Amino acid sequence: MLTGAAGFIGSRIRAALTDKGHEVVAVDVMLDAAHGAGASAPDGVLDVDVRDGAALAAVLPGVDVVCHQAAVVGAGVDASDAPSYGSHNDYGTTVLLAEMFAAGCRKLVLASSMVVYGQGRYECAEHGTVDPLPRERAALDAGDFEHRCPLGGESLQWRLVDESAAMRPRSLYAASKVAQEHYALAWAEATGGSVVALRYHNVYGPHMPRDTPYSGVAAIFRSAIERGEPPRVFEDGGQMRDFVHVDDVAAANVAAVSDGAGGFAAFNVCSGKPIAIRDVAARLCEVRDGEPPVVTGQYRSGDVRHIVADPARAAEVLGFRAAVDPRDGLADFAFAPLRG
């Protein structure tokens, strides 16, 4: 069973699973924020809310693996988003886990996120690996965007984050993804079940949601170019991220569905090729012949400076390696269709 099957990522996973010969029970509740007001489920997708135990109980018999993509996504607009994240992401996952147990299904592939890592991983030349303090407003106002060592004030260098890093959520969405992982881990230990948590990094690709407060930055840049405006890049644009194509995310899910290990395991799903946010905007402008991006120096309180993943564990254990180079993928994305 695939939840969130009509979504940006879920629809690509459904196609990839089907291509590999899996029989997919596809469900989606068709939330307005993801699909637009009044959207109906596409052919072959059942209108099921994962918070509805009775509806799940009707479709779970005979299911061997649940691939759980359904979620409210994005960093959130303000604190009023908290109940939505808690309801759809966390309560929905607990209902799903309970109904899986009742139906005898013992394997879950969970869509998690890089946001569970919080600020990422940093190293000081003097003091080694350190956990930086949140950036101060005075420094941000002065255009000093990099983290400083909490021990001596030295500049820090970002490093790849692996799956052993502590989870330190810094947004409402991140808190809900950490909770999902914790519930799934406890369920696996209580039932003898298997959980593969896939920590997606910045996913992009065709049919990504268009410019909304919950959209990814690549879609926001695309929308600006289409309006004839230069993309506006916050801070100095040097924020490092990993952009992973949606088809690679689908491939990671196919690999996870076939993984035979028990217990709980988490994996980064990333391209392995870090890229600065300003370079993402510049690549889209280059391909679209748009105005070059404007680096504004503006910032949002609580934004993470650098978060870049280590792809080694997914390659070693799942055999997953991203196939799409971000520069090539972003060039294709520059003209790809977007959702509503």
pLDDT of residue 128: 97
pLDDT > 70? residue 214: no
Q: Rounded to whole angstroms, how far apart are CA atoms 202 and 244?
A: 6
- DSSP secondary structure, 171-239, as one string: SHHHHHHHHHHHHHHHHHHHHT-EEEEEEE-EEE-TT-B-SSTTS-HHHHHHHHHHTT-PPEE-TTS--
When pLDDT is averaged across residues 92-116 and rounded to a whole number, the result is: 98
DSSP H helices, the chain, are 8-19, 32-35, 53-59, 82-84, 92-103, 137-141, 172-191, 217-226, 246-258, 277-288, 312-313, 326-333
Residues found in the chain: 340
Query: By percentage, how much of the chain surpasses pLDDT 70?
Result: 97
When pLDDT is averaged across residues 194-215 and rounded to a whole number, the result is: 87
- Give tens-digit pLDDT for 264-289: 999 999 999 999 999 999 999 999 99
Pick 2-120+161-334's CATH classification: 3.20.20.70, 3.40.50.720, 3.10.20.30, 3.40.50.10310.
3.40.50.720
Using alpha carbons only, what angle is made at residue 331 by residues 329 and 333, rounded to the nearest 5 degrees? 70
pLDDT of residue 147: 95
Confidence band for 79, pLDDT divided at 50, 70 and 90: confident
State the burial class of residue 97 (Cβ atoms within 10 Å of its Cβ: 0-12, 13-18, 19+).
Answer: buried
When pLDDT is averaged across residues 169-193 and rounded to a whole number, the result is: 96
- Give tens-digit pLDDT for 82-91: 999 999 999 9
- Give tens-digit pLDDT for 124-149: 999 999 999 889 999 999 999 999 99
* pTM (two decimals): 0.95
H or E segment at 159?
A: strand 156-159
Q: Rounded to whole angstroms, how far apart are CA atoms 31 and 76?
A: 15
pLDDT > 70? residue 61: yes
Interacting residues of 327 by C-beta distance below 8 A, sequence separation 6+? 275, 283
pLDDT > 70? residue 299: yes
Q: Rounded to whole angstroms, how far apart are CA atoms 129 and 149?
A: 9
Cβ pair 186, 97 in contact under 8 A: no
When pLDDT is averaged across residues 212-241 and rounded to a whole number, the result is: 90
**Range(s) of the chain covered by CATH 3.40.50.720:** 2-120+161-334
Give the closest residue to 256 by CA, choosing from 6, 20, 7. Answer: 20
pLDDT > 80? residue 318: yes
Cβ pair 26, 69 in contact under 8 A: no
Where do we find the tokens 């930086």? 132
Q: Rounded to whole angstroms, how far apart are CA atoms 97 and 184?
A: 8
